[in-house]
Amino acid sequence: GAVVSQHPSWVICKSGTSVKIECRSLDFQATTMFWYRQFPKQSLMLMATSNEGSKATYEQGVEKDKFLINHASLTLSTLTVTSAHPEDSSFYICSANRQDGYTFGSGTRLTVV
Amino acid sequence: DAKTTQPTSMDCAEGRAANLPCNHSTISGNEYVYWYRQIHSQGPQYIIHGLKNNETNEMASLIITEDRKSSTLILPHATLRDTAVYYCIVGGSGGSNYKLTFGKGTLLTVNP
């Protein structure tokens, strides 16, 4: 089936630094990818929709200058958490919708210290 | 807001069928019903989806009511590894840019 590869699976960074998370569609082209965030014991919350070759669409309340999304190719979308702070610590998950449905990456656990 | 409502938690005995209900009374004609599950600290895993007909695959069966306002996911022989949070979600067709909105899901606990 369709595979979405997410990297890294976990990262620890210092407060004030930036972290980039990659999401790749391995066996299909994804013109649209979705980025979610999940806090402990909570459900997934959609952050933004990443569109290949154009600007991402952010959900209400998500700071676009803090969460930079780049979707420069049909197989790669990146999420950069800029100037990370401890409150940005979370589980970040990407997703893409192929012809046979939505598939999700394995997630990235971000811890900001 | 999520377009679905599910019970917060359910228990099931190992080897028995697990029946997980979901209400989606506001679903529109071109929206699909998707089921995913999530085990702690992993990405959601696809289980099954359908539009209006009942569906079955190697993992589960999906029963959608005739009015499409509710559905039931059936795991025919639950195992301990099926313990997870199960999400029922309304979504678009394959390849679309329809956004999936997750509700709180049902925590299914399979007991030995």
pLDDT for the residue A1 = 58
Paired with A59 in beta bridges are none
Query: Closest Cα of chain A to B50: distance in Å?
Result: 10
Cα(A56)–Cα(A24) distance, rounded to whole angstroms?
16
CA A40 – CA A91 distance, rounded (Å): 8
CA nearest neighbour of B52 among B68, B36, B74: B68
pLDDT digit string (tens) for B9-31? 999 999 999 999 999 999 988 89
| CB contacts, 8 Å: B42 with chain A | 106-107
How many residue pairs bridge chain A and chain B with CB atoms within 8 Å of each other? 62
- Cβ atoms within 10 A of the Cβ of B43, count? 22
What does pLDDT average to over chain B?
A: 93
Q: Is B58 touching A (CB cutoff 8 A)?
A: no
pLDDT score for A91 = 97
Shortest Cα distance, chain B CAs vs residue A59, angstroms: 11
Low-confidence ranges of chain A (pLDDT < 50): none
Residues in chain A within 8 Å Cβ distance of B104: 43
B8 to chain A, any CB pair closer than 8 A? The answer is no
Distance (Å, whole) CA A50 – CA A71: 6
A46 contacts on B by Cβ (under 8 Å)? 99-102
Q: Do A43 and B102 touch (CB under 8 A)?
A: yes
Map A46-79 to HEC letters. Answer: EEEEEECCCCCEECCCCCCCCEEEEEEECCEEEE
CB contact under 8 A, A32 and B97: yes
Mutate to test the interface with B, among A44, A109, A110 (most CBs of B within 10 A): A44
* More reliable by pLDDT, B93 or A102: A102
Give residue B91's pLDDT: 87
